[in-house]
Structure 1
């Protein structure tokens, strides 16, 4: 028992005994065709379609289905599709306006039981017939036309053998050698045997044949292959002409392109008047607005019509494939178009063409859309576009796989992005400071930081469960680098420095005057160091290691620092008044500045000399005297070498002691100021600078020379020492005595 349900132009079927089957079928009345779809899940292990009319049940298989106007295919989704002409065999035709077709769907289910499902399709003609209409189906060509005016042809009843028995059909086709058209006449019964279906309806004459039928021929028109048939009925003065383009789709850039001649010369008697082209998908016409929205285009170029469809556009079907981790896609679109024109013989001809277009397994590297805005500090990537059969499994960042559900908790954002054409992509957002993002600082011209994100997207392709991995690397340059910097100010004791770290995550080493700052240098130089969160505070005492000096009017020094590969210069100069000074230069030169302002009675500095009276001051100003001399001159004496132990364990070296004799201003009553420098016997001499007021008093030693010294002068008998350590200077004095 079955009940017919009507909804608009669709007739659906339900069964009282098996109601579940109704959702497995879809039926529609389309333009000039019945349309039936059976879901792939309902097909079973075996299936077939039969048509039933008053003469019985007829199998819709093979050549019979083609000649009778039935096209049965499995579409790209695996569903069974039947498209049948309104004027097909076994169709009940009422006045060429109402059509009924009873179709049986028969299959074997999981229990190997054969079941049959009857489907009654009833359709009304919605648009009147044109004088001539042609159909280029996937597997046959069809033409149906009214009688040419003036022929006085009276049509017989549909399928009447008596009415067709006397017909003679003349085929016209080119000679294989000369190319000239030749004619071959056969009875209509013979035409039937050759695969041509000739019939009449109440108002029309019908011809249908398969592609490649005998007595048809193929021609090339504008590099497009065309199958043509020319024939006429001798007795009835009726002529038929059929042509269909067999061209295949091709890919041009990102578009699927199908071309066909604008005018089929075999079908037209000039003058030709084009009435336009309409395009549809799966037998449904598209409005101009919808076609433009999907990117479909119909172009005319030099007598050729091109229909262009974006690869993957809505209306088609995308399928994914993976081979050796190479991703590819197949695209299928069931294209339908209507071409209309007029010529000298026919006021209107309509040609309907059904052309499924396949592009199989084209390599399609997924597109990575980088929407990163550096100022926002977040990588924003979209990878796509994928059809419904591709799903993201996980991503790999920093060498670690991250599942979708784990991403949020790790500070990564993953989301699904749908696109208007039915495909989709995946959005990944990662902040620049995230540990999976690598950073590299460039210091050239304008300093900037390069952020790099490397990620592997892993997908699964259904239903085969194939895995596909896509690797992507993106970079972003941001001028957010804050370089290390130094602030300096002068104090009475020396120079105070603030070394700001900046925001570069490097292991910096600080050099002071070419000497690497470590705890040994801090202790040796008497530095005061304090480490803060964002800077290092350090005070460098005057005359400590690492200082650089310049002799200028006013006697001041500057302090250039060196921080790694960055030379932090342009620090302010510090000016320190100097009254007394002893400088031991690496080349053995000594510079001595003495202050005579506190001597009683007053002494003119210009009369002060070294042990050698010929070695006088280079400069005097009334209270100070400046001497410069080599340790091998001016009466300088050297103490015999001795062996001493260095503070470092298991290291020992020889040292020599050079002592400069006292300065005299009066040979009869000398005023003695011992000064001296300590240098290592082996190794490079280093610069040393010393002010006597900062040296603790040394133990008193007896003079080797008896002399009468004023009380005030005796207070000045405090020697200058500079060298490797204070202890060496003290030891040298004890060994040599006060002379």
Structure 2
């Protein structure tokens, strides 16, 4: 299909045309045969084929080239220059240089003159054919000169570069290069001419015979249509290049020229350029037929491979073609390529190349568009060698840039958390090598990668050019969210993670959000094991892993060593066990079913959720107690006393005949030694004393009997209840008494003559009766001025008008004149309280 240069001598005699084929017909032989005229024609061919435009000069080149900026290399059929893209803010520019000037390598000029510029991740590559326009070719020694212009720190800098190369392989008779932007054909001018068997040869010969002498012309064929011939100057204007070098004729054309045509060969798109170059000198015709055909397959993909195709026999071949394949500048034997994962198959006279996405030599580029996408780029280098029936070798080489469409690149999360480790372990996987983890946000809190308190992150690299990140966060880290469902008895640790990833080299951010949780079922608040003993209750708690989520309180007060010491509790606490011994009559008890024989004492420990302080559980223990003597001061203003009268009444006395200050107030129950009184604290003759922080209600139990000297003797038992002012809603009013806490009671036995009773009526304080117990956490109080004399009451039940500037924290005492009778208290105390 592509013939060597042939010399045809044309003799015209006796009205017919005679053709004589010369067996060894190189241009050099033609020149020798044509004398001076043929030599002149050859010189004209050199001049026409070497026409180039003189272009403006570029900026002056600098001598010093930074290390790592440029790499230059000579290959089999081309020279390559790779420029590190990180040196400049913009893509570098290339200018070709020869003895006549400097020529910017634009996109159009590159396709015409044998240059190709390709941007790959991290660098820009310039490839120059050995037959490119401005290459100095002397005896197969090719010298390339370029000016490289880069923009660095806002300033253009130019560097002068040159390189001398020689082909490492001998030239084949026919060589076709299907570059990314042009087709180049070179043919040796010293080979034997094959027999002319195609009709196109004869048609061209007919046209050449009638052409103007010494005028080199070219004629194109498109889909079996012969186009009118054009001279080389016109062909040059249309982008075609014909060049005669030492021993080879070169033809180059960009893709998509008007004189080329597209077809399909075995279902593969192919672009074909069929040109015949000819010139007639007298009775001699010079004619070169050039046919170039390139597969235009852009590749397809099947989910894991890119598939590229080319017809098996674009050029005549006696046997199967030899194939080499590679990427970039490397060509590999077929066996080596298959060992690396590439697969080459032949089907229906078509060669199919299957390229795995992750093959060595390809590029992966990440793209952000809401989600993370990727596409794969392959700088394919493919060689096909065939030998035709005339034993002429055709070497066909392809340079193709294949790529996939945008493919979703999902990252994945693997929750590796082991509950027993009490730590989140989260793996973010399949992160491409050109994506960096820049920052983390955990439950809305920014975390730098250098932080390593209770959280650490570790990068793991893999051979498939991906990496993973392992994030470890302790359950105890303050940023971890805790959530407890008391209805389901389920506790949850939760971690919302926002990964900030940076796509290189554009530094484009991508945010990947995920959430992990650790669920624990059958989680309930702590429960104490309680035991009753004679003088109180003992509580024991064995700590479990989740018990730290709750706070332990007595009422509204947090249980602390300070609170326990202040209230008289005995507490010991370590990492495994909490022991609490609560003595009877210490704060926190409630009492009910009080009789002469005893009562029920209840103590409650509350479990509050640590953050909300919501009560989510409790341990309540009720025990029976039977002390000989006790006093209970209730929150609703009742004093209940069991007094041992045997300490004051001599043998034979009757406790049932005792009474309070109000002689009508007698015991509700009595036996031989004890009496039980229960009465409102402001009834039965009780006195009230207001202190700075407390209010005290006092009464006395009297028992009269004659002594041995027949004198009247009165034994009395002083009983009192003291309430803290801070806990009172109303200190006392006509109708109601309210206290947040029970009062502190005291029983004091005294014996004295009746005559001395009036002179010694001062009752003992609560501090004299038993140790005072004070709350650890007191409600804040306003600073008060000393109370002045209060205005007289106008009517019963009216509010007191306090002096200007006085702001009491509670209502002050007004002693009621309404006192219940003993009969009312004895028969129906509740009725009297509710009515009054």
> What is the TM-score normalised by the length of structure 2?
0.51
Contact preservation (8 Å) 1:312, 1:331: no
Is residue 684 of structure 1 aligned with residue 741 of structure 2? no
Alignment of 1:583-602 (within 5 A): none
Alignment of 1:394-473 (within 5 A): 420=463, 438-444=479-485, 445-447=489-491, 449-450=493-494
Contact preservation (8 Å) 2:331, 2:382: no
- CA deviations 1:296-333 (Å, max 9, x no partner) are 89999999978767599865487999x9xx99999895
Deviation at 1:199, TM superposition (A): 7.8
Structure 1 CA distance, aligned partners of 2:689 and 2:66? 109
Tell me which residue corresponds to 1:141.
183
2:327 to 280, 295, 303: 280
Is residue 240 of structure 1 aligned with residue 281 of structure 2? no
Tell me which residue corresponds to 2:792.
none
Structure 2 CA distance, aligned partners of 1:583 and 1:23? 94
Structure 1 CA distance, aligned partners of 2:682 and 2:67? 123
Structure 2 CA distance, aligned partners of 1:560 and 1:27? 87
Contact preservation (8 Å) 1:336, 1:352: no
Indicate how the Cα distance of structure 1 residues 330 and 503 shifts in structure 2: closer, same or farther if over 3 A, else same.
closer
Is residue 492 of structure 1 aligned with residue 542 of structure 2? no
Structure 2 CA distance, aligned partners of 1:26 and 1:216? 36
Is residue 353 of structure 1 aligned with residue 353 of structure 2? no
Contact preservation (8 Å) 1:417, 1:425: yes
Structure 2 CA distance, aligned partners of 1:643 and 1:689? 14
Gaps of 5+ in 1: 1-17, 155-160, 174-180, 665-670, 706-719, 728-734
- CA deviations 1:154-176 (Å, max 9, x no partner) are 9xxxxxx9999788734124xxx
Tell me which residue corresponds to 2:606.
562
Tell me which residue corresponds to 2:625.
576
Query: Which is bigger in relative contact order (C-alpha 8 A, separation at least 6)?
Result: 2
- CA deviations 1:355-385 (Å, max 9, x no partner) are 3468999999999998877727487888996
Tell me which residue corresponds to 1:717.
none
Structure 2 CA distance, aligned partners of 1:446 and 1:266? 73
Deviation at 1:140, TM superposition (A): 0.7
Contact preservation (8 Å) 2:443, 2:495: no
Tell me which residue corresponds to 2:778.
none
Deviation at 1:559, TM superposition (A): 2.7
Indicate how the Cα distance of structure 1 residues 412 and 314 shifts in structure 2: closer, same or farther if over 3 A, else same.
farther
Indicate how the Cα distance of structure 1 residues 336 and 641 shifts in structure 2: closer, same or farther if over 3 A, else same.
same
Structure 2 CA distance, aligned partners of 1:151 and 1:116? 49
Structure 2 CA distance, aligned partners of 1:202 and 1:268? 25
Contact preservation (8 Å) 1:243, 1:266: no
Indicate how the Cα distance of structure 1 residues 496 and 196 shifts in structure 2: closer, same or farther if over 3 A, else same.
same
Structure 2 CA distance, aligned partners of 1:19 and 1:352? 36
- CA deviations 1:663-692 (Å, max 9, x no partner) are 99xxxxxx999898869444227897999x
Tell me which residue corresponds to 2:785.
none
Structure 1 CA distance, aligned partners of 2:673 and 2:320? 118
Tell me which residue corresponds to 1:186.
229
- CA deviations 1:540-580 (Å, max 9, x no partner) are 32134422456599965443311323555446654534556
Tell me which residue corresponds to 1:81.
126
Indicate how the Cα distance of structure 1 residues 349 and 328 shifts in structure 2: closer, same or farther if over 3 A, else same.
farther
RMSD: 7.8
Deviation at 1:137, TM superposition (A): 0.7
Aligned to 1:338, what secondary structure does the other structure show?
Answer: strand
1:211 to 255, 260, 283: 255
Tell me which residue corresponds to 1:546.
588
Is residue 695 of structure 1 aligned with residue 747 of structure 2? yes
Indicate how the Cα distance of structure 1 residues 65 and 616 shifts in structure 2: closer, same or farther if over 3 A, else same.
closer
Alignment of 1:379-394 (within 5 A): none
Deviation at 1:216, TM superposition (A): 2.2
Contact preservation (8 Å) 2:493, 2:519: yes
- CA deviations 1:400-423 (Å, max 9, x no partner) are 99797xx68x89878887664778
Aligned to 2:227, what secondary structure does the other structure show?
Answer: strand
Tell me which residue corresponds to 2:15.
none
Indicate how the Cα distance of structure 1 residues 120 and 724 shifts in structure 2: closer, same or farther if over 3 A, else same.
closer
Contact preservation (8 Å) 2:542, 2:578: yes
Contact preservation (8 Å) 1:637, 1:659: no
Structure 2 CA distance, aligned partners of 1:721 and 1:222? 120
Structure 1 CA distance, aligned partners of 2:765 and 2:703? 15
- CA deviations 1:337-368 (Å, max 9, x no partner) are 42759999999987533234689999999999
Contact preservation (8 Å) 1:299, 1:306: yes
